[in-house]
Amino acid sequence: MPAINEPKLISGNANLTLSTAVARRMSIHRGAKVDLVNARVERFNDQEIFVEIHENVRGEDMFIIQPTSNPANDNLMELLIIADTLRRSSAARITAVIPYFGYARQDRRTKARTPISAKLVANMIAHAGIERVLTMDLHAAQIQGFFDIPVDNLYASPIFALDIKHHFRDCLDEVMVVSPDVGGVARARELAKRINAPLSIVDKRREKPGEIAEMTVIGEVKDKRCIIIDDIADTAGTLVKAAELLMEYGAKEVHAYITHGVMSGPAVERVTGSVMKSLVITDTIEPTAAVRSAANIRVVPTAPIFAQAILNIWGGTSVSSLFEDATLEPLYETHYS
């Protein structure tokens, strides 16, 4: 069905920098200026969230850009309240653009008497009036099935592949992709296939949550430039230990490509003091000042792919086409020129 109304963006407070960048990229793609909707998203003295939209959105195709990152509960409530505001203002369709989907790690019951919080959050999003979700690198693919509305899950691996081909262009034959655990093998294999590199696995065994009892490397990493690929870096403890282990096994150098840089607690200090030559993250979560100033942490933009995905959803065209190099490379042409 051809699009009739213009796509309109509204942002919460979780990542205004990304929202502004998406609007700017959409303006470039369309050749017409796209601005964020003029709205007020603030808190009362008791921290209740209040939203007021200062322009007409009746009959419009609305896109809310709001990752549910730290503080997860506040940012989730902002998303739900913005959606309710738009629904009560007669928006034609509401799409939630959630670059980082919080609570995704609670996607199953690991023991008795525990919740499946990802399913609860999915229900809340649908009941708030949101009709479609656009996100990136869900922690578990089955979370898409928790929603009773369409979910478009973008992948960071095509972006990472472009970045690796640019920064390792003189030594691609030495690159080894490493999965930090058995559960992440599919993600690592996808990247390895894109850059035509071999795959290795760090097998870790935990005695209890947060504590690693034993780590071993499956695969020959000696004299390789190892690239660890994962979706989330939280406290970075496992990441740093995996890098140390790879160096012990004879790796020439270790880098890491992580989609969502949660980087809580001592994460930045651990990374800067580690044997890792570089950590590359995306801006799905607003990077802190400490992250931006860290010498061995680099941030790659997601605005180009999110902007095009929004335009594809608005225009009723394929989102999965963005997984192909031929479609993605032109979006990042200026970034890697």
Q: Return binding residues.
A: 46-48, 105-106, 139, 181, 206, 230, 234-238
Query: Which residue is catalytic, options 119, 204, 241, 252?
Result: 204
Instruction: Kindly report each contact of residues 22-27 with a partner whose C-beta sits within 8 Å and lies 24 or more positions away, as own/partner.
Output: 22/65, 22/97, 22/303, 22/306, 22/307, 22/310, 23/307, 24/303, 25/303, 25/304, 25/306, 25/307, 25/308, 26/307, 26/310, 26/311
Structure-token pair, residue 174: 């030495």
List residues forming the annotated binding site for Mg(2+): 139, 181
- CA nearest neighbour of 252 among 141, 176, 147: 176
- 306 contacts 98 by C-beta, under 8 angstroms: no
How far is it, in rounded angstroms, from Cα 106 to Cα 110? Answer: 9
Cβ-based neighbours of 19, under 8 Å, separated by 6 or more? 9, 11, 36, 65
List residues forming the annotated binding site for D-ribose 5-phosphate: 206, 230, 234-238
Helix (H) or strand (E) holding 153: strand 151-154
- 129 contacts 86 by C-beta, under 8 angstroms: yes
How far is it, in rounded angstroms, from Cα 133 to Cα 126? Answer: 9
β partners of residue 175: 225
How far is it, in rounded angstroms, from Cα 291 to Cα 39? Answer: 29
Active-site residue, 204 included: yes
List residues forming the annotated binding site for ATP: 46-48, 105-106
For the chain, count helices (H), then strands (E): 10, 14
Buried b or exposed e, range 217-230, using 16+ CB within 10 angstroms: bebebeebbbbbbb
- 139 contacts 117 by C-beta, under 8 angstroms: no
Residues with catalytic function: 204
